[in-house]
Amino acid sequence: MLQEIQQVKSVPVSDLKNTHFVGLMTFTRDQFANTFTDDAPRKVAEQLERFNTAYQALDDAYKTSTYSLDTEALSKADDDCDRTFMGIKKMVGAQQAFDFNPTVKEAADRMMQAIAKYDISTDEDYLGENNKLQQLLQDVTNVVALKADARTLGLTEAFTQLADKVDLVRKLITRREMGKAPKGAMKAARNAMEPEYRWLIAILNAAALMDDDEHRFDTLITTLNANIDYLKKNVIRKGGIVWNDEDYDEELDEETEGEEIEGEETTDEGETKENTTENNQ
């Protein structure tokens, strides 16, 4: 009976954030790989190859958009830079209390004013803090009075070390940005991935309908549906997305209408929707 044949459920993949979109695509890829080796129906195997090609591009774009090999090095360099800056600031603050030495106190007051001018915070983003530190260092280097104050406070070497660390952070920021995916790469990868997912599911559903009640695909379909149910309950509904399971994916065109799967007679294709997984930043 037709109603006894399982079909993969529809899901609004276009509404999913990148993280959930990628998660769905990865889960789907893994389940198909676990199910089919060399015995997939011809149409399923052909579409699965196209799906896997699109998935590789999606995976590459997602990884480079969320992680860089320079991230850890940048974090460490920034922490080191922060410690040096805060050390300088504390030394300046301590010498502001030198009432017994007006020359030192006045130099400390001027230096603290220069530091406060840029409102530098170690909690700020890498680039914002780095820009402000560079401006401070330019003042200490180019303003004659501040350069003399740094000598008076015994901070000339400390500022030199800070300059080296600020420069390293800037270089790592630049290198990390260059290693990221081009702007729009993730969107382009998703746009290419979504139709390949739709067709993979549609062809699987069609193959299930023409399976002569052998139910060879039931385990795969049950597993895919369990994941889709989880997404609908824990991700989609919480995200405010409303989806009617009775709706069909109207974006599927009719280019494969009339094609056969593994030489069997054609039948209506099961139409479905997709599911997927997105920071920041």
Rounded Cα distance, 256 and 252, in Å: 10
Q: What pLDDT is stored for residue 37 in this prediction?
A: 75
Q: Taking the domains of the chain in order of start, what are their residue ranges?
A: 2-67+182-236, 71-179
CA distance 118 to 56: 45
Cα–Cα dist 18/67, whole Å: 14
Cβ of 178: how many Cβ atoms within 10 Å? 9
Q: What is the predicted pLDDT for the residue at 77?
A: 94
Which pLDDT value is given to residue 239? Answer: 53
Which amino acid appears at position 135 of this protein?
Q
Per-residue pLDDT, 197: 97
Instruction: Write down the pLDDT at residue 95.
Output: 96
Confidence (pLDDT) at 237: 66
Q: What is the pLDDT of residue 6?
A: 87
Distance (Å, whole) CA 15 – CA 17: 7
Q: How high is the pLDDT of residue 21?
A: 93
Give pLDDT < 50 ranges for the chain: 1, 242-281
> In terms of Cα–Cα distance, which of 216, 215, 218, 233 is closest to 275?
233
- pLDDT given at position 220: 94
Report how far apart, in Å, the C-alpha atoms of 155 and of each of 104, 114, 249 are.
Answer: 12, 14, 68
* CA–CA dist 66, 281 (Å, integer): 9
